[in-house]
Structures are given as structure tokens and as C-alpha cells.
Amino acid sequence: MAADLRGRKQSEHRDCGDVRFFIWTVDIDAELLQNAVAQKTLLFKQVSNKIQMKTLFLLLATALCFVQISAQNTIQQQTSILIIKAEDERRFDKDLQELLKSSDAKTRRRAVLASGRIGDEKAVPFLTEMLAKDADAEVKAMSAFALGEIESGEAGDALLKVLETKDASETRARAIEALGKIAAANPKNTKVELWKRAISDAADFESSRRPSSDKKTVLLCLTAVLRAKPEAAETVAAKFLIFPDARIKADALNVLARLRVKNEVVNAQVRQLLSDANGEVRANAARVLGGAEDKSAFDTLLKIAENDVDGRARVSAIRALSNLKNKDAANVLLNRSEKLLSGYKLTKVSNPDEKSELLEISTALGQILKGSN
């Protein structure tokens, strides 16, 4: 069939009319299909039956769609290969710059992401312009993210401009995240305090409009606060401890734990979260209080270490007790280890859950009983 089609190619091309204009020939199979379509086109002149005419028309339309889809897929694959090669070679060149101007939003978005991953500051002017002017919201958001990946202070003004709007958009959230990365990477920049203040203001704005706060923006605000460490960062993060959303509370506590906060006002709020319904929240609250060496939380931490149903909370409480170094915890932890050891002996698997907790208790007891007779 293929050889026969090749043999009749010239004569059929003369009769296919405008069909060839619509077909994108991308390989030999597509060319053979083109000739087959041309052959069917010739039959239109001889068909009088309307049903047959409709059938042939549908066949022609289907064939055209098939070839067009094949060509589009080929173009997309070639574009993806071009972008991946640029990423691998850390090369921001004219090819990538042209893709940033593509009429296809998906292509622009992928090229923007590649520019951020490459990390070349030469991309900053292109990305700031797209952040301000691109018609596609996803492209604008990706531009903000990419600027954060590059971590150039030259992008600061463009990102601050985005933060002037108070709408709950992906672009604004990514701009806050990007400012956090840039502030952390450029601590000696003359504008770093301006960036930090903008992050604090954005976080304050989100906390003030609860319960209408945008969750993603809040989470990225907390990440930015952790990276940039603005003035009174612990106070900024603590405002989110009263949010009903468990993920937001857990992330706010993570920020406080990483900052190693020793603020009694903040710690008083954190102690209340030791009884939160969410295990991750309880675990992170224990981390904060352990890092702060909050002795007033001892009794609650001891109960969590002994009886909490969530393994994350128990382990965090055990580590917190290790920091507190109160010898009254020793007997409780020893009893807990005996129960775990009994279960460990009955377990058939090579690395049972009890193993890691036993190791945590062993380490904690070493710290708690250090120097005792």
C-alpha cells in the first residue's frame, strides 16, 4: 500500500486542490496519509450519493486532524527538548529568549521556569517585563517565582510593585515568596530592609483579614518571614497561631521553632496548642517549647511523650524533654521504652515503627541523666 501510494504521488498531488495547504507534513507516514487524502478527494467528483459524500468528507476531516495533531506534538516535543538542553547547560540564550515571546502561554510559562532554574541574571529584565505585562496570569505568577529562583536584587522593585495590589492572586503570593529568597540571598543590599518590611506588611495584611485570608498567600508569607527574618519575625508569625486551619498553624509553629524563639508571650500561645486536635500542630508546638526550654510546659510534654496517639507529637515531645533536662522525666521515658521494646520483639518487619522512638528515648535519657550518679 505504501509503495503504491508513493508511485501515484505526482498525479494525485495535482488533483488534491487546497487539501495540501491544510496538511502539515512532518514525516513519511504523514506524507503517505496526505496522498491517501488526495486520492479520496478525487472521488468527490464521481460521487452522487449524499451519504457516501458525507462519509468521504468525514474521512478527509479526520485525516487532516490526525496530521495536524501529529505535527503539533512534534513541535511541542522539539520545544521541550530545546528548553531541557538549555536548563542542563545552564544557558540563557537567544533561543530561550525567543520562547519567552511565544504566542503559546504554556510555552512561555515553561521557558520562564527554565530561566529561573538556569539562574542567569541576564534573564531578569525579560522576566520583570513579563511579570508586569504578560496577559496570562499563570505566566505572571511563574515569572515572579523565577525571579525568586535567580535571587537578584535587580528584581526587587518589580516585585514590590506587585505587592502594592491587595488581591489574593497567585502572582502576589509568588512575589512575596520571591522577595523572601532575594532578601535572604542579599543581606548587604541597600534595599534589604525595604524588602523585609514589605514581607512583614504582607503577612500583617493577611492576618488582619481573617477569615478571608488567602491560604496559599499566608503559607508563602510564613516561608518568606523564615527566610528574610524581618524585625520581630516571631511576632509576625505568632499572629497565625489563632487561625483555624491546621496547616497554617503548623507552618507558623515551624517558623517559630526554626527561629528558636524565647518569647514568653509567644510561648504562652504555643503551650495552648499542645492540646490541638491536629498531630502535626502538637508536634511543632513541642518543638517550639523544647527549643525555648520552656520549663512550664514540662508536665504537658511528658504526657504527650507517654500517651499521644501521633508518633510525630511523641517524638517532638521526647526531644523537648531532652532539652529541659528534668530528671523527673526519666522514669516515665523508661516505662515507655519498656512498652515499645515489648512490641518491638513481637514485630516481624526489619525496621518497625518502635525502633526510631526507642532511639529517641535513648538519646533523651542520655541528655537528661548526664552527670547524675
pLDDT of residue 12: 41
The confidence score (pLDDT) of residue 15 equals: 39
Closest to 64 in 3D by CA, of 2, 5, 18: 18
Q: Which three cell numbers stand for residue 268?
A: 504562652
* Cα(18)–Cα(33) distance, integer angstroms: 15
Query: What is the structure's pLDDT at 243?
Result: 97
Give the contacts of 257 (CB within 8 A, at least 6 positions apart): 284, 287, 288, 291
Residue 239 DSSP code: G
Per-residue model confidence (pLDDT) at position 135? 96
pLDDT over 50 at 56, yes or no: yes
Q: What is the mean pLDDT of residues 145-163?
A: 97
Q: Is residue 215 over pLDDT 70?
A: yes
The H or E element that residue 136 is part of is none
Do 193 and 259 fall into the same domain? no
Q: Are residues 110 and 132 in the same domain?
A: yes
User: Do both 132 and 181 map to the same domain?
Assistant: yes
Same structural domain, 124 and 202? yes
Residue 58, domain member (yes or no): yes
- Residues 30 and 34: their CA atoms lie apart, in Å, by 6
98/67: higher pLDDT: 98
Helix (H) or strand (E) holding 27: none
Whether the pLDDT of residue 336 is over 80: the answer is yes
Using alpha carbons, list the distances in angstroms from residue 243 to 207, 220, 275, 369: 9, 15, 15, 39
Q: What percentage of the chain has pLDDT greater than the value 70? A: 77
331 and 270 in a single domain? The answer is yes
User: Residue 112 pLDDT more than 90?
Assistant: yes
Q: How many domains, the chain?
A: 3
355 in any annotated domain? yes
Q: Which one of 42-46, 103-107, 341-345 scores highest in mean pLDDT?
A: 103-107
Last residue of a domain, one of 56, 89, 122: 89
Q: What is the pLDDT of residue 353?
A: 76
pLDDT at position 250: 98
- Mean pLDDT is lowest, of 112-116, 315-319, 340-344, 360-364, for 340-344
Q: Which residues contact 208 (CB under 8 A, 6 or more apart)?
A: none
In a domain, 234, yes or no: no
- Statement to judge: residues 66 and 111 lie in one domain: no
Residues 254 and 373 grouped into a single domain: yes
Does residue 241 sit within a domain?
A: no
The segment with the largest mean pLDDT, out of 61-70, 101-110, 217-226, is: 217-226
What CA–CA distance (Å, rounded) separates 265 from 262?
9
Which residues are CB-contacts of 207 (< 8 A; sequence separation ≥ 6)? 213, 218, 239, 240
pLDDT, average across residues 234-241: 97
**Rounded Cα–Cα distance for residues 348 and 31 (Å):** 63
Is residue 297, in this structure, part of any structural domain at all?
A: yes
| CATH code of the domain covering residue 146 | 1.25.10.10
More confident residue, 159 or 372: 159
User: Are residues 323 and 351 located together in one domain of the fold?
Assistant: yes
Provide the pLDDT for residue 6. Answer: 43
Q: Contact, 34 vs 10, CB < 8 A? A: no
- Rounded to an integer, the average pLDDT of 328-348 is 85
pLDDT for 13 equals 41
What average pLDDT does this structure show over 74-84? 77
Cα 193 to Cα 124, 156, 175, 178, 229, distances in angstroms: 21, 11, 16, 15, 10
Say if 231 falls within a structural domain: no
**182 and 294 assigned to the same domain:** no
Domain final position from 89, 121, 143: 89
* Residue where a domain terminates, one of 89, 113, 137: 89
Mean pLDDT computed over 267-272 = 97
- 365 close to 334: Cβ distance less than 8 angstroms: yes
Residue 188 — pLDDT band, cuts 50, 70, 90? very high
Predicted confidence (pLDDT) at residue 217 exceeds the cutoff of 50: yes
CA distance 152 to 125: 11
Give me the mean pLDDT over the 217-239 stretch. 97
**pLDDT for 1:** 45
**Residue 133 in domain:** yes
DSSP for 155-213, written as a single string: GHHHHHHHHT--S--HHHHHHHHHHHHHHHH-TT-TTHHHHHHHHHHHHHHHHHTTTS-
Same domain, 69 and 104: no
Residue 230 domain flag: no
- pLDDT over 90 at 223, yes or no: yes
The single-letter code of the amino acid at 138 is E
| pTM: predicted TM-score of the whole model, two decimal places | 0.77
**Is the domain of 143 the same as that of 204?**
yes
Higher pLDDT, 354 or 312: 312
User: Residue 346: which residues within 8 A CB-CB, separation 6 or more?
Assistant: none
Q: What value does the mean pLDDT take over residues 45-63? A: 57
Give tens-digit pLDDT for 14-26.
333 333 333 333 3
| Same-domain pairing of 26 and 142 | no
Domain that holds residue 20: 1-89
Cis? peptide before 125, omega within 30° of 0: no
Judge whether 138 and 105 are in contact, CB under 8 Å.
yes
Q: Which three cell numbers stand for residue 232?
A: 520581630
pLDDT over threshold 50, residue 189:
yes
Ramachandran sector of residue 151 (left: φ over 0; alpha: ψ -120 to 50; beta: rest) = left
